[in-house]
Amino acid sequence: MESIDDHHKQQIIGARSSVSLLFYLMTLSSMVVAFVFFTGWAYAYHYFAHFKVGLLALNLPIATYPGFSFWVFQAWWWLFLPYVCLVVMLVFF
C-alpha cells in the first residue's frame, strides 16, 4: 500500500514541477512582451517628439508599437541577451 502512495506523491510532485515551469515560462514571456512593447512605445514617443507631434494626436493602433521596437533592437541587439540567458537557465536548470 505504501508503494502506491509513494507513486501517487511522485505524480503530484511531477505535476507541480511542470505547472511551476509553465508558470515561469508564462511570466518570462509576458515580461519579454512588455519589454518589447515599452521599447517600441518609447522609440515612437521620442521619434515623433522630435517633430513635435504627440502620440495621442497620431492615434496609432497598439499593434504598431512592437514594430517600432524593431529599430531599437536592430541597433542594440544585445538588449535581448539577458532574457535569452534567463530562458536558457529556466529550461535547462
Confidence (pLDDT) at 3: 58
Q: What would the pLDDT profile of 16-27 be if each residue is shown by its tens digit?
A: 566 777 887 888
What's the domain range around 68? 2-92
Nearest-angstrom CA–CA distance, 21 and 17: 6
Cell 517633430, located at residue:
51
**Torsions phi, psi for 88 (to 5 deg):** -65, -45
Say which DSSP state 5 is in.
Answer: H
With a CB cutoff of 8 Å and minimum separation 6, the contacts of 36 are: 66, 69
- pLDDT for 72 equals 87
Q: What is the pLDDT of residue 44?
A: 95
Domain count within the chain: 1
pTM higher than 0.75: no
